Amino acid sequence: MNEFSRKILASPTHFVAFGFGAGLVPKAPGTAGTLAAIPFYLLLMHLDIWLYVVVILVSLLVGVWLCGESAEALGVEDHGGIVWDEMVGYWITMFMAPTGWLWIVFGFCLFRFLDILKPWPIKLVDKRIKGGLGIMLDDVLAGIMAALCMQALVVLYL
């Protein structure tokens, strides 16, 4: 294990911001962070809808601080290994999604597609808003867009 990884794993702030270590993967840390969100989603999906919303809001608010602190301590505006934002974005994507592995995988693919592509207004937010809020907000918007797409499919096809 290299010095950077030890630093991340030793700090509770970095450890959580890096998705409990998922963001340390050398290639596609955002994808790894989204994958790390799935086991948490499997627990969240059983919550009452209002409790799910509270968990998302708390995760978002904590994430603004957490990602901002981690980025500032590392001296990098939006370090690729900070993946808490991807985790929250995925949980937003899966809000009120139908159950089943097909939907879990579809939500994963849809969220990653929108997070990578960054259509308007995601790209605008990504470029203009900095700090912890900026780190979180583009993924929150990708999650909202993905959730709306998922709900549209549910309405149209189920």
């901002």: which residue's tokens? Answer: 68
pLDDT for position 157: 82
Q: Which helix (H) or strand (E) holds 77?
A: none
How far is it, in rounded angstroms, from Cα 37 to Cα 98? 17
How far is it, in rounded angstroms, from Cα 40 to Cα 17? 15
Q: 80 and 17 in contact (C-beta within 8 Å)?
A: no
Domain spans of the chain? 3-157
How far is it, in rounded angstroms, from Cα 63 to Cα 43? 19
Q: 82 and 135 in contact (C-beta within 8 Å)?
A: yes
Q: Could you read off the pLDDT of 34-44 as tens digits, one per residue? A: 999 999 999 99
pLDDT for position 70: 97
pLDDT for position 60: 98
pLDDT for position 129: 95
Q: What percentage of the chain carries pLDDT values higher than 70?
A: 100
Q: Could you read off the pLDDT of 67-118 as tens digits, one per residue? A: 999 999 999 988 999 999 999 999 999 999 999 999 999 999 999 999 999 9
> Please, what is the average pLDDT of the chain?
96
Give pTM, 2 decimals: 0.96
* pLDDT tier, 152 (very low <50, low <70, confident <90, very high otherwise): very high
pLDDT for position 144: 98
- Other beta carbons within 10 angstroms of residue 83's beta carbon come to 32
How far is it, in rounded angstroms, from Cα 90 to Cα 15? 19
